[in-house]
A and B are shown apart, each in its own frame.
Chain A
Amino acid sequence: MSTKVGDIVEEFQSERITDNKMSTVHRHHEISRKESEDECRLPALEAAYTDILRHLGEDTDREGLLRTPLRAAKAIQFLTKGYHETIDDILNNAIFDEDHEEMVIVKDIDMFSLCEHHMVPFFGKVHIGYIPNKKVVGLSKLARIVEIFSRRLQVQERLTKQIATGISEALQPKGVAVVIEAAHMCMVMRGVQKMNSRTVTSAMLGVYLEDPKTREEFLYLSQRT
Chain B
Amino acid sequence: MDRSKQNKYSSNEKKDNGDGGSVLNGHFDGMVKRATGGPQAPGAESAPHRSTSAVMESWKEERTRSLEDNEMSLPSLAAAYTTILRGLGENPQRQGLLKTPWRAATAMQFFTKGYQEKIIDVLNDAIFDEDHDEMVIVKDIDMFSMCEHHLVPIFGRVHIGYLPNKRVLGLSKLARIVEIYSRRLQVQERLTKQIAVAITEALQPTGVGVVIEATHMCMVMRGVQKMNSKTVTSTMLGNFREDPKTRDEFLRLIKS
Contacts and interface: CB of A to CB of B under 8 A. Distances in A.
Contact of B222 (A47, A62, A75, A116): A75
A51 B73 CA distance: 10
B187 interface: yes
Interface stretch (B149-157, B167-175, B198-206, B230-238): B149-157
B100 A116 contact: yes
B160 to A, nearest CB: 18
Interface of B: 2, 5-6, 9-10, 13, 22-26, 64-65, 69, 73, 76-77, 79-81, 83-91, 94-97, 99-100, 103-104, 107-112, 115, 142, 144, 148-153, 155, 185, 187, 217-218, 220-222, 227
Contact of B155 (A13, A117, A189): A189
Interface of A: 13, 16-17, 19-20, 33, 37, 41, 44-45, 47-49, 51-59, 61-65, 67-68, 71-73, 75-80, 83, 110, 112, 116-121, 123, 153, 155, 185-186, 188-190, 195
A93 B153 CA distance: 37
A190 B111 contact: yes
Nearest to B101: A119
A48 B152 contact: no
A45 B99 CA distance: 19
Given A49-B80, A63-B22, A75-B222, A186 B115 contact: no
Query: 7 closest A-B pairs (Cβ-Cβ)?
Result: A16-B91, A57-B65, A55-B73, A72-B151, A119-B104, A48-B83, A48-B80
B10 A16 contact: no
Contacts, number: 177
B18 to A, nearest CB: 16
Contact of B152 (A13, A44, A51, A75): A75
Given A55-B76, A110-B227, A189-B153, A153 B25 contact: no
Contacts of A75: 150-152, 218, 222
Nearest to B66: A57
Contacts of A61: 10
Contacts of A120: 104, 107, 153
B139 to A, nearest CB: 15
B90 A68 contact: no
A67 B150 CA distance: 9
20 contacts: A16-B90, A19-B96, A45-B84, A48-B81, A51-B80, A54-B2, A56-B73, A56-B108, A58-B64, A59-B26, A63-B24, A71-B151, A76-B88, A119-B84, A121-B153, A121-B221, A123-B221, A153-B90, A185-B144, A189-B155
